[in-house]
Amino acid sequence: MKFGVFYEHQLPRPWHERSEYELLQNSLEQISLADRLGYDYAWEVEHHFTEEYSHSPAPEVFLAAASQRTNHIRLGHGVIQLPTNSIARVAERVSTLDLLSHGRVELGTGEGSTTTEIHPFHIRFRDKREIWEESIKALIPMFTEHGCEFHGQYIDFPLRNVIPKPYQKPHPPLWVACSNINTIEMAGSRGMGALGFQFVSPEAATAWVNRYYLNLTTKLDKLANYAVNPNIAMVCGFMCAETDELAMEKASGWTFFIFALQYYSQHGYAEPGKLNMWDKYQEWRQTPKAQEALRTGLIGSPDTIRRKLREYESTNVDQVILLNQSGKTRHDDICASLELFGREVMPEFQGRDTEHQQWKHGVLAGEIALESLDTSAHQRYLAQPESHVAQSQNASTLKKMLEERDKQRNATGS
């Protein structure tokens, strides 16, 4: 098992003049520490206009700064929103970062999650999956070919040589955001690493890991000529302290993360300056759902976290991504947590990664047959509201209805 650290750059109100400056500088210090401690990955999101939830609109700039303060840790886009970016600029920035970091980039991509972020870029929310797929088709040749063009429904790019080319050949490993649990199936069939949130239980993780690898080995349907990246990772709340009680006390940031994620999923746009999410969170943090999140996350003493990790290790998850920078979690608590976990817990699991890689090799080579487990009882992540699951399951139906409405309007000229 490998371990990553995850950055949303959350910044609950109230803010002061140096809030964003201190946030970014502290995050760079934390990643530098993680690099020295032997963590495997540092993941940075891309979000726009989501006050308090994420102040991270330019991950390529932040990761470039991190590349010059670290030596070994992999630098992951978790993820670039392809619909809101020029695809040639994505190729240029990712390749430049890969050169600066001596080939340490992991390229996660996604569709974008809310109308708050997507609509200001003149993108229709219901088109985002098709734009993402077309973007992948346009992007991959830019990493390898010395002249390429693409003419599609959403992207029209003339013949050009997109430079520079990445350090890693043919390109950095590809991942995709799994914003709802069913997209893990899609990630497997597309041959990309799956970046998802914490499963509700080890049983759910086992079912979905099996489904991912079954799709990858038996239903592979790549969007373009790219290298397959067989990996499944889960992001989970994290706080390691000397005692369970102390860890729980310091881990309120994880429940704020869940609250803010659900709020933007359900409510969307809020007029700038009119919403104080931290105040709204105070009542929710006492609810049973908030307490469930604290109990289920990797939150506790080294012994408690070690016990929970052994359960997830048995599911064959490839990577656990630790979400420590969230809410108002203090910089010194984040650093102390990374140090304690890195010293007392992480080496045991990293030391057994060779065994996991042997299992994976057997699966990919067809030497290990996976059971097709029932996933119907495991339809949500821990941080995912049940209403969001229902919405995602009905998304294709809604899209068809909207497209039919647009056709009728065009036919009548209304």
What residues contact residue 392 under an 8 Å CB cut-off, 6+ apart?
Answer: 179, 180, 182
CA–CA distances in Å: residue 259 to residues 53, 178, 326, 382? 9, 19, 11, 12
| Crossing angle for the helix pair 277-284 and 252-267, to the nearest 10 degrees | 110
* Radius of gyration of the CA atoms of the chain, in A: 21
pTM for this predicted structure:
0.92
| CA atoms of 316 and 379, how far apart (whole Å) | 19
Residues with pLDDT less than 70, the chain: 383-414
| CA atoms of 294 and 62, how far apart (whole Å) | 29
Residues 2-383: name the CATH superfamily. Answer: Luciferase-like domain (3.20.20.30)
Predicted confidence at residue 24, as pLDDT, reads 98
User: In the block, which residue shows the tokens 């599609």?
Assistant: 152
| CA atoms of 245 and 247, how far apart (whole Å) | 5
Which amino acid, one-letter code, is at 239?
Answer: M
Predicted confidence at residue 398, as pLDDT, reads 45
CB 229 within 8 A of CB 191: yes
Angle formed at CA 267 by CA 276 and CA 238, multiple of 5 degrees: 65
pLDDT one-digit tens code per residue, 355-395 = 999 999 999 999 999 989 888 888 877 766 554 444 444 44
Strand partners, 187: none
